[in-house]
Amino acid sequence: MLPRDLSLQGVSESALLKAILPITDVMGTGHHAAVSAGVAQGATVAVVGDGAVGLCGVLAAKRLGAARIIMLGHQRRRLELAESFGATDIIASRGEDAISQAIKMTGGGADSVLECVGTSDALNTAIGICRPGCTVGYVGVPHYGDVIINFERMFRQNININGGVAPVRAYIPALLADVLAGRLDPSPVLDLTLSLDEAPEGYKAMDTRKAIKVMLVV
């Protein structure tokens, strides 16, 4: 139960708890991607990956004042959610096509890029859509295999990579304050609720893209 002084007027406790829950995981991680990428007021930001972390990255970029947020993904329902979270542009193509589209769309590349997938293709796409001086905030758990990165371009154009495991506990106070104030609501990423006994079904739903993130209740 939440203390009475933490409950928002007109908001049920269950709705409030659902909004709070993501800040302990995917919202905190998406925020880490944005912080690591140096998202600044008025910036153009690209987010690679339309999973729960990438969607929360959109929220985080908007919260930090980004003026333009480009979401790169492929799942229609998730892209619609990204737009409701504040994405201003959508790129549904992949690889070089996505890079070319982003460079053209932004007139040279994004100021900050959030890499929220963890594959070599996603990392190279993130680097490819950077403008000179850009930083990639990477939080996708690495499963690269043999990854080839264009370090020469990174060197010559001062492109940086920063990120890693999210220190979520350090972010919770500020994110919680925004949730309680009604300024932040990541609850829509929890689009399927199951019982604890149904946890295996929850993992299956996420693996088959039938759910973004599952909330288990007891």
Which amino acid belongs to residue 40?
A: A
Domain assignment present for 214: no
Give 76's contacts (C-beta < 8 A, 6+ positions apart): none
Residue 5 has pLDDT above 70, yes or no: no
Q: Is 35 within 8 Å of 59 (Cβ atoms)?
A: no
Domain assignment present for 195: no
Antiparallel, parallel or unpaired: β 213-217 and 130-138: unpaired
Q: In which band, very low, low, confident or very high, does the pLDDT at 10 lie, cut at 50, 70 and 90?
A: low
Domain assignment present for 155: yes
Residue 175 has pLDDT above 60, yes or no: yes
Residue 86 has pLDDT above 50, yes or no: yes
| CATH number of the structural domain spanning residue 130 | 3.40.50.720
Domain hosting 137: range is: 23-163
Domain assignment present for 131: yes
Domain assignment present for 205: no
Least confident interval from 16-20, 70-74, 139-143: 139-143
Least confident interval from 1-5, 26-30, 164-168: 1-5
pTM: 0.92
Residue 213 has pLDDT above 50, yes or no: yes
Looking at the 3D structure of the chain, how many domains does it have? 1
Domain assignment present for 11: no
Domain assignment present for 81: yes
